[in-house]
Amino acid sequence: MQKFFRENGAKLISALVIFIMLLVCFANADNGEIEEAVTDSKRYKSTTEWMQEINDDTPISSISIPGTHDSAAEYIFPGHFLKTQGMSIADQLTNGFRYLDIRLAVESDKNGDYLGFVHNFGKCRARSNIFSEQIRLDGVLDQIYAFLKAHPSETVLFCVKDEGKKDNAKEFEELLFKSINQNKSSWYLYDTIPKLSRVRGKIVLLRRFSDAMNYGNTGLSFNWNDQGQKTSVDLPYVMYSLNDSDKLWVQDRYKYNVGQKRDAFLDMLRNVQADDHTFTLNFLSTAGDGTFGHPKGYAEVLNGILMTTNLAPQTSYGTIVVDFGTREIAQHIYMSNFQANAE
C-alpha cells in the first residue's frame, strides 16, 4: 500500500484537486441558474397591483387586460361540461385578472328573490358539493370591494349578462341596481370609456342587457349580438358603436372548434388595434362545435397557444378572455403593457 501511494500519490493529489475544482464549478453554475431564475421572476409585476405603474391618463381601452370567461363557473354540475374556471373570482383578482364575465339570473328562496350566478342551465356553487349554496351577486361584490380597498391602484371591469327568463328583465335590473346603489361610489356607471385615473379603486359596469328600466347611467353598453355560429366566417370579429366617439370590437365565436377558434383569436390579435377610443374583447374560450369535448380540454390547447404567442412590449391587445385562467396567463397578457424585462 505504501509503495502504491509513493508511486501514485502525485496522480491522486492531482485527481483530488481536479475533483474539488469541478465541485466548485458545478456549485457556482447551480447558484448562477438560481440567481437567473430569481431575476427572471422579478420581471413580472405584482399580480395584485400591476396597474399601479400604468399612466393615469391611459384610457382603459388602451390597456392589455386579462379576463376570465364565465368567471364564477368553478363549482358547477355537471362540471365536465360546464366548469370553465379553476379558481374563485377572489383568487382570479389576486392572480392578476381584471375583466370578469358575470352571468346572473333572478333566483328565489324563502327570503325572497336575489341574483345568483349561473352558466347555461347550471347554478354556480360556492363549493364542490352539489348541494352547497349558489354564489350570489352581493357576496361576490363584497369580495371585489375588499380587493379594491386593499389595492386602490386597480380597477375591475364587470361585464354583466342577464341569463334568466326574458319576462324577468325588469326585476333583474331592479335587483342589480339595488346592489350597486348600496355602494354606488365604488362604481363607474357612465357610457364613455374612462381614463384609468377615473376608475382606480372602482368597478366599471359593462352592460350586456337591454336597460329595460331606463335608469339613466347604466354603464357602457356591451350588449353585442350572439356569435354562436359553428361555420367559419371571413371576419370573425364584429364592431359595435358604444357612443358617438367610442367603439367596441368583439370576437366571441364560442361554438368554433379548436382550430377555428385559434385562427379567429390570432386574426383579431394581429389585425384589430385597441386604442383610446376602441375597446376590444378577444375571447379564447369555446364550447366546441358539438363534437365530443369539454371546456378544460379546449382550454389546455388554446391557452398553450396563447402562452407561446409573442405579445410585444408596450403594445395594447385590449381585453383577452380565457377559460381556466392562471397566474401565468394573466402575467403573460398584462406584461405587454410594459417595457421588456421590466423590473
Residue 264 burial class via C-beta count within 10 angstroms: exposed 0-12, middle 13-18, buried 19 and up: buried
Q: pLDDT tens digits, residue range 274-323? A: 999 999 999 999 999 988 789 999 999 999 999 999 999 999 999 999 99
- pLDDT for the residue numbered 43: 58
Q: Is the pLDDT of residue 258 over 60?
A: yes
* 319 domain-assigned: yes
For cell 326585476, the residue is 171
User: DSSP state, 315?
Assistant: -
Q: Which of 65, 67, 97, 100 is nearest to 284 (CA)?
A: 67
Cell of 179: 346592489
Q: Is the pLDDT of residue 239 over 90?
A: yes
Q: pLDDT tens digits, residue range 13-37? A: 444 433 433 333 333 333 333 232 3
Residue 131 burial class via C-beta count within 10 angstroms: exposed 0-12, middle 13-18, buried 19 and up: exposed
| Full residue range of the structural domain in which residue 215 is found | 43-337
- pLDDT for the residue numbered 3: 47
For cell 379553476, the residue is 86
**For range 166-182, the mean pLDDT:** 93
- pLDDT for the residue numbered 12: 44
Q: Would you place residue 343 in the very low, low, confident or very high pLDDT band (cuts 50, 70, 90)?
A: very low
Task: State the greatest distance between any 2 C-alpha atoms of the chain, in Å, as a whole number.
Answer: 104
User: DSSP state, 256?
Assistant: -
The amino acid present at 91, given as its one-letter code, is D
Question: Is the separation of the CB atoms in 65 and 157 below 8 Å?
Answer: yes
Query: How many folded domains does the chain comprise?
Result: 1
Q: Is the pLDDT of residue 342 over 70?
A: no
**Range list of H helices, 235-326:** 258-271, 295-307
* 19 domain-assigned: no
User: DSSP state, 195?
Assistant: B
Q: pLDDT tens digits, residue range 84-95? A: 999 999 999 999
CA distance 114 to 137: 8
CA distance 327 to 339: 19
* 331 domain-assigned: yes
Residue 135: how many other CB atoms lie within 10 Å: 23
Which run of H or of E encompasses 66? strand 65-68
β-pair type (65-68, 247-251): unpaired
- pLDDT for the residue numbered 341: 61
Mean pLDDT (the chain, rounded) = 88
* 100 domain-assigned: yes
Residue 86: how many other CB atoms lie within 10 Å: 15
CA distance 124 to 76: 5
Beta-carbon contacts of 250 under 8 Å, excluding residues fewer than 6 positions away, are 222, 224, 227, 237, 238, 240, 280, 281, 283
Torsion of CA 77, 79, 82, 83, to 10 degrees: 120
- pLDDT for the residue numbered 18: 37
Q: Is the pLDDT of residue 45 over 90?
A: no
Residue 107 pairs with which residues in a beta bridge? 114
* 31 domain-assigned: no
* 224 domain-assigned: yes
- pLDDT for the residue numbered 41: 39
Q: pLDDT tens digits, residue range 99-150? A: 999 999 999 999 999 999 999 999 999 999 989 999 999 999 999 999 999 9
Count of residues making up the chain: 343
The amino acid present at 270, given as its one-letter code, is R
- pLDDT for the residue numbered 211: 81
Question: Is the separation of the CB atoms in 302 and 284 below 8 Å?
Answer: yes
* 266 domain-assigned: yes
Q: Residue 306 maps to which CATH number?
A: 3.20.20.190
Q: Would you place residue 207 in the very low, low, confident or very high pLDDT band (cuts 50, 70, 90)?
A: very high
CA 57 to chain centre: 23
**For range 199-214, the mean pLDDT:** 92
* 34 domain-assigned: no
